[in-house]
Amino acid sequence: MFGKLRSALSRAVSSLARSVREAAALREIKLSDIEDVMEEIKLELIEAEVAYDVAEEIVERLAGRLVGSKIPRSVKLEDHIRSVLAEVIYEVLGEGGLDIPEEARARCSPGGRPYVVVFLGVNGVGKTTSIAKIAYRAKRLGVTPVLAAADTFRAGAQEQLAYHAERLGVPIITGRYGSDPASVAYDAIEYAKARNHCLVLVDTAGRMHTDYDLMGELRKIVRVSKPDLRVLVVDALTGNDAVEQARMFNEGVGVDGVIITKADADVKGGAALSVAATIRKPILYLGVGQGYEDLEVFDAREFVKKIVWGNSSQEGKR
């Protein structure tokens, strides 16, 4: 995963080390020592599908930290640069988020309102699959979620979610095709309240982020179901388009957290970083395959370690 981003960062460390080695031995680092190499690093990041603005922010923060600094003699130059780079990326990326089933369990109270999560995103990004994975995770934690099949738009969507509900042994509220998706979400919440379920996961129809009618429909679902969390699902493989989607959904409906799917097939790795940095919302999970277990809680520190130091314990498995 993320090989391209990792090698771009690794090259960045080597080039920076080369250009500051002499300067650092004699005096403080000046902007002129690193200007060229900063431009090179920016381009490398963009090639790894880091959004332009985000690449620029990383490079500016990096220069801000290095210019005027003296490298302590006691540390290896490359290691020093690497830890500065890791800090910068961590700042730009932000913290990870919460784990939905854990959160639902923590807030659960008899007779209380269930924890309601609405999933948003364009067609085929993996909304329904991610819901099934979270339902699986919730069940293992002893929380039985109610699924709301509020995609009454795409043929087969109801059956697709019902198939997962049956396999996972969790209740589902469905609706007729063409019926109001907001009412399906509402019914699922009422069902959960009546039977003391702590979590409701609302599936919605995929839509183009440019489709304002459908955006309006999503806003209605959100108004009616008053979710505790609006989760945007984006596909890592769509690269820069994922950033555009994030911006549009965040402005059009509001987004509280993000799931990046298909990270297992993503060699570039820029999307995760760019989406979180652009809308300043936490990444909650990475989708890493098609099975129910293929969902990783996103750990920002671990992610940064993986892409900057490249020695994660997870890495050997892929």
Ligand X SMILES: Nc1nc2c(ncn2[C@@H]2O[C@H](COP(=O)(O)OP(=O)(O)OP(=O)(O)O)[C@@H](O)[C@H]2O)c(=O)[nH]1
- Using CB under 5 A, list all residues that contact Mg ion: 127-128
* 261 binds ligand X, rule: CB under 6 A: yes
- Taking each helix axis from N to C terminus, what angle separates 77-93 and 300-308, rounded to the nearest 10 degrees? 140
* 269 binds ligand X, rule: CB under 6 A: no
Q: Nearest approach, Cβ of 47 to ligand X (angstroms)?
A: 23
- Interface with ligand X by CB under 6 A: which range of 42-50, 65-73, 75-83, 260-268? 260-268
User: Can you tell me which of 28, 290, 293, 315 binds ligand X, judged by CB under 6 A?
Assistant: 290
User: Can you tell me which of 289, 302, 309, 312 binds ligand X, judged by CB under 6 A?
Assistant: 289
Q: What is the sign, positive or negative, of the torsion defined by CA atoms of 215, 123, 45, 315?
A: positive
- How far apart are alpha carbons 253 and 214 in whole angstroms? 11
DSSP states of 262-289: -GGG-SS-HHHHHHHHHHT--EEEEE-S
Q: Break the chain down into helix, strand, coil percent, rounded to 5.
A: 55, 10, 30
Q: Quick one: what does residue 12 bind among Mg ion, ligand X, none, with the CB cut-off 5 to 8 Å set by partner type? A: none
Q: How far is CA 46 from CA 12, 227, 298, in A?
A: 13, 35, 23
Query: CB-wise, 42 or 137, nearer to ligand X?
Result: 137
- How far apart are alpha carbons 162 and 168 in whole angstroms? 10
- Which residue number places its CB atom closest to Mg ion? 128
Q: Quick one: what does residue 227 bind among Mg ion, ligand X, none, with the CB cut-off 5 to 8 Å set by partner type? A: none
Q: What is the sign, positive or negative, of the torsion defined by CA atoms of 81, 82, 85, 86?
A: negative
Which residues in the 138-177 window bind ligand X by CB under 6 A? 151, 154, 157
Are 187 and 223 contacting, i.e. CB atoms less than 8 angstroms apart? no
* 262 binds ligand X, rule: CB under 6 A: yes
The site for ligand X, by CB under 6 A, has a size of 21
Q: Quick one: what does residue 264 bind among Mg ion, ligand X, none, with the CB cut-off 5 to 8 Å set by partner type? A: ligand X
Q: Quick one: what does residue 83 bind among ligand X, Mg ion, none, with the CB cut-off 5 to 8 Å set by partner type? A: none
Query: CB-wise, 163 or 191, nearer to Mg ion?
Result: 163
- How far apart are alpha carbons 276 and 280 in whole angstroms? 5
Structure tokens of 164? 């997962």
Query: CB-wise, 85 or 146, nearer to ligand X?
Result: 146
The binding site for ligand X (CB under 6 A) comprises 121, 123-129, 151, 154, 157, 206, 261-262, 264-265, 287-290, 294
